C-alpha cells in the first residue's frame, strides 16, 4: 500500500514539476509573478482537447501543437501586456497577470462553456501498468515521463544553447546583459514563450486524465508557486526536486494524516523551508 502511495506521489510530483519549470523561468529570469500561468496550462489542455475532438489527434500527438500554441500565446502576452509593465513596480506586473488570468478564464468559459470535459478514447485512456500490488495509470506514467523529457530539454536549452545562456545572463543582471549586446527584450519574449511551452506540453500530457474546464489550471498554478519558491527562483533542477517533494508530501501526508490535510501539509513544509532557507532548498 505504501509503495502504491509513493508511486502515485512521484508521478504527480513530476507533473507538478513541469508546470513549475515554466513558472520558475518567468519568475526567476524576469522577476514577474505570473498569475496567468495556470490559465496558460488550461489553454494547453483545451488545445489538446479540441485537437482530439475536431481532428481526432491523440493528446500524445498533439503535444507539439499545444506546446507551440502556448509558446506563441506566451510571446503574444509578453508583447501585449507584460512588456508594458516590466519597468513598473512588482505590484503592477502582478496585477496585470492577475487581470490576464481572469480574462483567459472568462474567455474560455465564454467560448467553451464551463462544462467539465474529458478526453475519452485517447491511446493511453484506461490503460494501466500493474507491478505486483502497485497499479500505475498509464496516462499518469506517460505524463510523468513526458514531464521528465520536457524538463531535460529545458535544462539543455538553458545550459547549452546560446539563447539559454543569454537567458541566464539576463536573469543574473539585465543591465549588464544589455551592455554585453544581448537583446533582453527578445530574451524576455522567448522566456515567456518557453514558460508557455512548458505548460502547453504539460496541458497536453494531463488532458488524458484530468478534467478540462476554465478553472482547471488554478490549483496546479498555486502548487507551482510553492514548488518554485521551494526549489529556488529560476532553478529548473530545483523545481524538479521540489515537485517530487511536494508530490510525495501530498500523497503520503494525505494517506497517513487525512486527505483533507494534504494541501495544508504542502504549504506547511513550504513555510518551514522558507524560514530555514529563504532562497529555497536549491536556490542560489
Partner 1 sequence: MKSKLALLLVIAMMFTLVVSGCTSTQTDAPKQNETPEKSETSEETPTNVDSVKVGAILPLSGSAAATGVKLRYAVEVAQEIINGDHPDIAMPLAEGMGLPNLGNAKIEVVFADHQGNPEVAKTEAERLIQNEKVVSLLGAYQSSATKPASQASERFKVPFVAGSSSSAALTQRGLKYFTRIAPNDDMETEVFFEYIKYLNEETDANIKKVGVVYIDNEYGVHAAEMVDKWLEAKYGAEGFEKVVSVKYPADVSNVDTEVQQIKAANPDVLFHASYIGDITQFVKKYKEFGFIPKAVVNYCGGFQDPQFTVNLGNDGDYFSGGAACTPQLFGKMEVVNKINELYKEKSGGVDIDGPALEEFASLMVIADAINQAKSTDTEKIMETIRTTKFEAPYFSTSAIEFDETGQNIHSASFMVQTQGTKYEAVFPVDVQTAKPVPFKDWTSR
Using CB under 8 A, list all residues that contact partner 1: 1, 4-5, 8, 12, 27-28, 31, 33, 90, 105-106, 109, 113-118, 120, 126, 128, 135, 137, 209-211, 213-215, 218-220, 222-223, 225-226, 228-229, 233, 250-251, 254-255, 258-260, 262-264, 267, 270-271, 274, 278-280, 283
Closest CA to 77 of 205, 249, 180, 194: 194
Q: Residue 134 CB, nearest distance to partner 1 (Å)?
A: 10
- Between residues 163 and 215, which has the closer beta carbon with respect to partner 1? 215
- Between residues 71 and 220, which has the closer beta carbon with respect to partner 1? 220
Q: Residue 236 CB, nearest distance to partner 1 (Å)?
A: 16
Q: Residue 39 CB, nearest distance to partner 1 (Å)?
A: 13
Report whether 2 contacts 240 (CB < 8 A).
Answer: no
Closest CA to 198 of 38, 33, 10: 38
- Between residues 88 and 90, which has the closer beta carbon with respect to partner 1? 90
Q: Residue 17 CB, nearest distance to partner 1 (Å)?
A: 13
Report whether 139 contacts 125 (CB < 8 A).
Answer: yes
Q: Residue 251 CB, nearest distance to partner 1 (Å)?
A: 5
Between the alpha carbon of residue 32 and those of residues 39, 90, 160, 191, 276, the distances in Å are 16, 7, 24, 11, 24
* Cell, residue 127: 490503460
- Between residues 71 and 146, which has the closer beta carbon with respect to partner 1? 146
Say whether 117 sits in a helix, a strand or coil.
strand
Residue 126 backbone dihedrals phi, psi, to 5 degrees: 65, 10
Q: Residue 254 CB, nearest distance to partner 1 (Å)?
A: 4
Q: Is 83 exposed, middle or buried (0-12, 13-18, 19+ CB in 10 A)?
A: middle
* Cell, residue 140: 499518469
- Between residues 200 and 280, which has the closer beta carbon with respect to partner 1? 280
* Cell, residue 247: 508530490
- Between residues 50 and 255, which has the closer beta carbon with respect to partner 1? 255
- Between residues 50 and 118, which has the closer beta carbon with respect to partner 1? 118
Contacts of 62 (CB under 8 A, 6+ apart): 47, 48, 51, 52, 204
Q: Residue 224 CB, nearest distance to partner 1 (Å)?
A: 11
Amino acid at each position: 500500500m505504501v509503495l502504491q502511495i509513493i508511486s502515485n506521489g512521484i508521478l504527480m510530483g513530476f507533473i507538478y514539476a513541469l508546470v513549475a519549470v515554466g513558472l520558475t523561468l518567468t519568475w526567476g529570469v524576469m522577476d514577474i509573478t505570473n498569475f496567468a500561468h495556470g490559465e496558460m496550462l488550461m489553454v494547453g489542455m483545451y488545445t489538446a482537447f479540441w485537437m482530439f475532438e475536431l481532428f481526432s489527434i491523440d493528446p500524445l500527438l498533439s503535444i507539439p501543437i499545444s506546446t507551440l500554441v502556448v509558446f506563441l500565446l506566451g510571446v503574444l502576452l509578453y508583447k501585449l501586456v507584460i512588456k508594458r509593465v516590466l519597468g513598473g513596480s512588482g505590484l503592477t506586473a502582478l496585477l496585470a497577470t492577475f487581470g490576464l488570468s481572469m480574462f483567459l478564464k472568462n474567455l474560455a468559459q465564454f467560448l467553451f462553456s464551463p462544462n467539465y470535459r474529458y478526453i475519452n478514447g485517447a491511446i493511453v485512456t484506461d490503460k494501466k501498468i500493474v507491478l505486483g500490488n502497485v497499479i500505475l495509470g498509464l496516462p499518469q506514467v506517460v505524463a510523468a515521463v513526458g514531464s521528465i523529457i520536457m524538463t531535460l530539454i529545458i535544462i539543455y536549452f538553458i545550459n547549452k544553447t546560446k539563447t539559454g545562456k543569454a537567458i541566464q545572463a539576463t536573469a543574473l543582471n539585465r543591465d549588464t546583459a544589455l551592455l554585453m549586446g544581448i537583446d533582453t527584450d527578445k530574451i524576455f519574449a522567448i522566456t515567456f514563450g518557453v514558460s508557455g511551452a512548458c505548460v502547453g506540453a504539460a496541458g497536453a500530457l494531463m488532458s488524458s486524465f484530468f478534467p478540462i474546464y476554465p478553472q482547471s489550471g488554478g490549483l496546479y498554478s498555486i502548487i507551482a508557486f510553492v514548488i518554485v519558491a521551494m526549489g529556488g527562483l529560476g532553478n529548473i533542477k530545483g523545481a524538479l526536486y521540489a515537485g517530487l517533494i511536494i508530490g510525495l508530501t501530498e500523497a503520503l501526508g494525505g494517506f497517513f494524516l487525512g486527505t483533507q490535510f494534504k494541501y495544508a501539509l504542502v504549504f506547511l513544509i513550504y513555510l518551514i523551508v522558507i524560514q530555514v532557507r529563504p532562497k529555497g532548498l536549491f536556490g542560489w
